Copies of this chain bind each other. A is one copy, B any other.
Amino acid sequence: MPAAQQGPRARYREQTRAEIKEAALRQLADGGVAALALTRIAKDMGLSGPALYRYFASRDDLLNALIRDAYDDAATAMGAAAARSEAAAHGPRERLHALATAYRAWAVGEPHRYLLIQGSPVPGYVAPADTLERARAALGPFLPVFTGGEPGAGVAPVVAQMEAWLTADTAVADWVAAYAVEAAGDPAASARALAGAVLAWAQLHGSVGLEAAGQFTGMGHDGDSLLVAQIAMLADAFALA
């Protein structure tokens, strides 16, 4: 829905919202979530304090908007990587590699945004419903990679659990069906896909999350080779070609 012909007022409003989010991301980049202060943003923009409340109901509201944007951004990055790899007629192993690399590139390119969506949440925090959908869009491209895999003994329990989850939660089943089209109607293949994607998520968060949090600074390896090793293990566990 392009806000183009929404009237000049609405357009200006969207523009200002975007400008606020830009300033917020700058503050986020140096100083973390704690450093994001509405008053400071206002000062940066030449506005005065409460004016921002015309655009965002609260600091949390702004933060949620940033989270949404980050998910969307990550999802499009992953979708693009999937399309590229698809176009290159890669095999599953190579596709997994491409997706993982894209994931890491996005995350370490903007670590503050990665930490925003995958970092420490407030204990009481419950993500808005659409967040779950966006997260699924970001991880969806991993699903079709594993449909043709042959899970080894180590990961078999996870596959079994996923099969149960698929029957219990239709939303998840729909998600899997939407991305892993080959597996549609095949419970075993769907469970494989889901298990692979979840494991990929965990593997990725392992190295990428630590790297984004700066835990690797001063260490004698680069995050890329670590990630490559992790996804190689995962590909082996599913006997990907």
In the complex, which of the residues B112, B123, B165 contacts A112, with contact meaning CB atoms closer than 8 Å? B123
Say whether chain A's binding surface is mostly helix, strand, loop, or mixed.
helix
Q: Using Cβ atoms and an 8 Å threshold, which residues of chain B touch A161?
A: 220-222, 225
* Nearest Cβ on chain B to A167's Cβ, whole angstroms: 9
For the complex, is A122 an interface residue (Cβ under 8 Å from B)? yes
Tell me, yes or no, whether A25 is within 8 Å of chain B by CB.
no
A122 contacts which of B31, B228, B236 (Cβ < 8 Å)?
B31
Query: What's the nearest-Cβ distance from chain B to residue A153, in Å?
Result: 8
Among the interface residues A118, A230, A236, which one has the most CB atoms of the partner chain B within 10 A? Answer: A230
**Number of A positions contacting B (CB below 8 A):** 60
Which of A8-44 touch B at CB < 8 Å? 29-35
Assess A221 versus B158: contact at CB under 8 Å? Given A205-B209, A206-B203: yes
Chain B residues with CB below 8 A from A137, complex form: none
8 Å CB contacts to B: which residues of A164-194?
A: 164-166, 168-169, 172
Q: Which of B34, B121, B122, B206 contacts A204 (CB 8 A)?
A: B206
How far, in Å, is A119 (CB) from chain B's closest CB? 4
